[in-house]
Amino acid sequence: MKKLTRILALVLSLAMVVVLASCDSLKGTDETTVTTALAGTVPIDKGAIKVGVLHITSIEDTSGYTFAHHSGIMEMKESLGLKDEQVIEKDNVSDTDIPATKAAIQDLINAGCNIIFATSFNYMNTMEEFANNPDYQDIIFSHCSGYKSNNVNFNNYFGRIYEARYLAGIAAGLKAKQLNKPLLGYVAAMDVTMSEVTGGIDAWALGIQSVYPEAKVKVKVTGSWYNPEAEKAAAQALIDAGCVVIGQHCDSDVTQTTAQDNGVFGCGYNSDMTPFAPKGHICAPIWNWGVYYTAAVQAAIDGTWKPVNYYEGMNKGLVDISPINEDVAAPGTKEAVEAAKAKIASGELFVFTGPLYDNTGKLVLAAGEKLTDAQITGGMTYYIKGVDLL
């Protein structure tokens, strides 16, 4: 009996050695195939492409940030004629939960995705790790709203939403001017240190001041991208303080419905919010993410994808404002907005052109100078003149 066990042990250990050795050889062949196909350089058959997406909130959102991205993905799927199983969307992935982010990206890789989009800022570092992993050099990683890339298979993409905010500011300013009340409010998700939010407020204020120079903007920070309760409370406080037009950089439509309930007006964000507040909402800066997603996936199919950063605006149709609500807007709004829009598209008007003063009166941009893209995406950590916390 004892002998038998020994023989068995010997056989088993031999078997293990053989298996291990074959594993090694397998790994070897794998590596050779991987190195030949660098991401984006080889055409991929349209039937074989697989797109993965990471969303921060639910794709069932009906108006907010994820709604805009999900709509863009759907548009891309439709215009390229991809099948349902070729697009995998992971939603409700908290971008501050690194293990969850890792697991979600790993799932997308395991499912065979060739190109993965991560739509929220804090996915950035995790995505960078995956992109730099030698095993995944054949996968395209594309990150929204951040600033990192690796010149191989990892880029970032965002848009000049401030152009749309400037236009919405013109509409808001004209409304306040019509009411003869130079006080406007803004429900902001994040505080002044967050360039994406602060730059948006500044652009909105510049749009307002372009038509109503003495107007002031009061800001309330909720501390969260999506919190209907806090957004309503902040909007109500702004209205209580006398603001007559309320802008927003947060995800729910509650700011706009609260404005309407109080008989004041507002500019939404991400999608047209007029159906939700037909008597209050003027117009909203919106995203057409389908423009980027279609171009990026098409490039991956053609094998012409480049790891360069994508930062486009009104010229490509990536950002826009929703149709002006004529029942609410001041007379002449549409004409004024259209005129400014044409100037932005032609390059005649650049929103952040000096002289620009911050709200302490310090000159931050000399006359005639323009902010660089890097300054706009990462360096706008000051409110301009006329903008203050409430």
Chain residues that interact with another protein, rule: CB under 8 A: 57-58, 60-63, 92, 220-221, 223, 226-230, 232-234, 236-237, 240, 252-254, 257-258, 261, 276, 388-390
- The phi and psi torsions of 294 (rounded to 5 degrees) equal -65, -45
Confirm if 363 and 357 have CB atoms less than 8 A apart: yes
Q: By three-state DSSP, how is residue 17 classified?
A: helix
Confirm if 128 and 153 have CB atoms less than 8 A apart: no
Could you tell me where the beta strands, DSSP code E, fall in 74-215?
Answer: 87-90, 115-118, 140-144, 154-159, 183-188
Closer residue to another protein in complex, CB, 167/197: 197
How is residue 15 written in tokens?
């078997």
Q: What is the closest distance, in whole angstroms, from the C-beta atom of residue 158 to another protein in the complex?
A: 24
Closer residue to another protein in complex, CB, 113/219: 219
CA dihedral 162, 165, 169, 172 (to 10 degrees): -170
Closer residue to another protein in complex, CB, 191/312: 191
Closest CA to 209 of 162, 268, 166, 264: 166
Closest CA to 141 of 95, 97, 106, 94: 106
Q: What is the closest distance, in whole angstroms, from the C-beta atom of residue 287 to another protein in the complex?
A: 17
Q: What is the closest distance, in whole angstroms, from the C-beta atom of residue 210 to another protein in the complex?
A: 26
User: Cβ contacts of residue 170 below 8 Å, gap of 6+?
Assistant: 207, 208, 210, 211, 333, 336, 337, 340
Provide the phi-psi class of 112: left if phi over 0, else alpha when psi is between -120 and 50, else beta: left
Closer residue to another protein in complex, CB, 49/273: 273
Q: What is the closest distance, in whole angstroms, from the C-beta atom of residue 359 to another protein in the complex?
A: 11
Q: What is the closest distance, in whole angstroms, from the C-beta atom of residue 251 to another protein in the complex?
A: 8
Q: What is the closest distance, in whole angstroms, from the C-beta atom of residue 57 to another protein in the complex?
A: 6
Q: What is the closest distance, in whole angstroms, from the C-beta atom of residue 273 to another protein in the complex?
A: 10
Q: How far is CA 223 from CA 230, 233, 270, in A?
A: 9, 13, 18
Closer residue to another protein in complex, CB, 129/358: 358
Closer residue to another protein in complex, CB, 90/220: 220
User: Cβ contacts of residue 333 below 8 Å, gap of 6+?
Assistant: 170, 171, 174, 175, 282, 324
Closer residue to another protein in complex, CB, 152/390: 390
Q: What is the closest distance, in whole angstroms, from the C-beta atom of residue 191 to another protein in the complex?
A: 8
Closer residue to another protein in complex, CB, 216/341: 216
Q: How far is CA 26 from CA 6, 22, 38, 268, 364, in A?
A: 30, 6, 20, 55, 59
